Amino acid sequence: MKKPMQHWFPLWLFICAGWMLRGDVIDRIAISVGMQVITEAQIEQEVRITAVLNDAKIDLSTAERKKAAGRLIEQALVKREMEFSRYPQPAPSETDATLREAKARYASEAAYQDALRQYGISEDDLKQRLLWQLTLLRFIDFRFRPGIQISDSEVQAYYQQQRIKWQQQGVQPVPSLADARPQIEEILTQQRIDQSLDQWLAEARGQVPIRYHDEALQ
């Protein structure tokens, strides 16, 4: 009678041979948002680009990758809405100025290229990311700004709070309501836009099936 290990030996051998001869999984689905997919490579790239833009170290921890995945899900939801509703999209050339600003942070073109290499991304990846930021801003403006009305009482209430802060901070002279009004209105509008965007994203998450694949973000 064979011992148990002898009995299973051929199978172990087969599995080990398979493991030795296996290839590398170079990309796979991490999350699906409706019919859109976010791959693991995309999540890693998002982490890297964010690090470049924030001038931070690359952190590929699960927590950071989950944050990046969250941003990519929101991107997918917005892209989906933009395709359905045919929102106008910016031309790639519109990112030139922003790219110049990003490059200006580096001493030279060579330093900039070195940084890209270190972070493991290409200039094209960066351009795509900047284009996306612009697209998102454009979408927000079209989708939410027209519906926002700031009342005079809200402006006054904000001004009163701000005036107290200015006085406490010793700002002299304290700006008048008339002078501060355009800025206050913009601040309140931005706050309201943020609220609307959050609300819209929460609703969209409920309407579109979002599925996390088994091995994603482990």
Partner 1 sequence: MLLALCGMPLSALPEQYEGRPIASVRFDPAKQPLTYEQLMAMLPLRPGQPLRGSDVRDAIQRLFQTGEYADIAVDATLGASGVILTVVTKPNHFVGHVAVNGVSEPPNEGELVLATKLQLGTDYSAEQTKTAVDRLVDLLKRNGFYHATVQSNSSIDASTQQVNVDFKIDSGKRARFDGLSATGQTERSTESLISSTGWKRFRGLLGWHSLTESRLRNGLDNIRNWYPKHDHLLAQVKLVDIDYHAGTNTVTPGIEIESGPEVGVRVRGASMSAGKIRSLLPIYEERTVDRDLLEEGTRDLAEYFQSQGYFDVMVRYTTTTPPGREYIDYIVERGSRHKIGRLEILGNHYFDEKTLRERISVIPASFPRYRWGRYSRSDMERDVDGIRDLYRANGFRDVEITWREVDDYRGIPANIAILVDIKEGQQWFVSNLDLEGVPSPDRAALLPLLHSTPGQPFSDLNVASDRDSILDYYYNQGYPQAAFEYTSTPAAEPQHMDLKFVVTPGAREYVRDVVVSGLLRTRADLVRSRIDLQAHDPLSQSKITGSQRRLYDLGIFARVDAALQNPDGQEPDKYVLYSVEEAGRYSLNYGFGAEIGRIGGGTASLESPAGTTGFSPRVSFGISRLNFLGLGHTVGVQTSVSTLEQRALLNYLAPQFKGNPNLNLQFTGLFDISHDVRTFSSRREEGSVQLGQKLSKANSIQYRLTFRKVNILGQPLITPELIPLLSQPVRVGFVSTTLIQDRRDDPIDAHRGIYSSLDMALASNWLGSQTGFGRLVARNSTYHPLSRNVIFARTTTFGLIERYSGLPEIPLAERFFGGGAFSNRAFPDFQAGPRDLETGFPIGGNALFINTVELRFPLLGENLGGVLFNDFGNVYSAVNRISLRFSQRNLQDFDYAVQAFGLGVRYRTPIGPVRVDFSLSPNSPRFFGFQGTPDQLLFGGGQQVVQRINVFQFHFSLGQTF
Q: Summarize as ranges the residues that interact with partner 1 (CB under 8 A).
A: 18-19, 21-29, 32, 35-37, 39-42, 44-45, 213-215
* Max intra-chain CA distance, the chain: 98
Nearer to partner 1, 123 or 186 (CB): 123
Q: How far is the CB of 195 from partner 1 (least distance, A)?
A: 31
> Quick one: which of 17, 37, 21, 20 has its CA closest to 29?
37
Distances from the Cα of 209 to the Cα of 31, 35, 82, 150, 196, angstroms: 10, 9, 17, 35, 21
Nearest distance, CB of residue 17 and partner 1, angstroms: 12
CB of 154 to partner 1, least distance (A): 30
Judge whether 68 and 50 are in contact, CB under 8 Å.
yes
Q: Which is nearer to partner 1, 165 or 211 (CB)?
A: 211
What pairs with residue 39 in β-bridges?
29
Residue 61 has phi, psi (to 5 degrees) of -70, 160
Cβ closest to partner 1, residue 33 vs residue 102: 33
Report d(CA 41, CA 58) in Å as an integer: 14
Q: In this complex, which beta carbon is closest to partner 1, that of residue 118 or of residue 167?
A: 118
Shortest reach from residue 49's CB to partner 1, in Å: 13
The count of residues in the chain is: 218
Shortest reach from residue 208's CB to partner 1, in Å: 12
2 or 22: CB nearest partner 1: 22
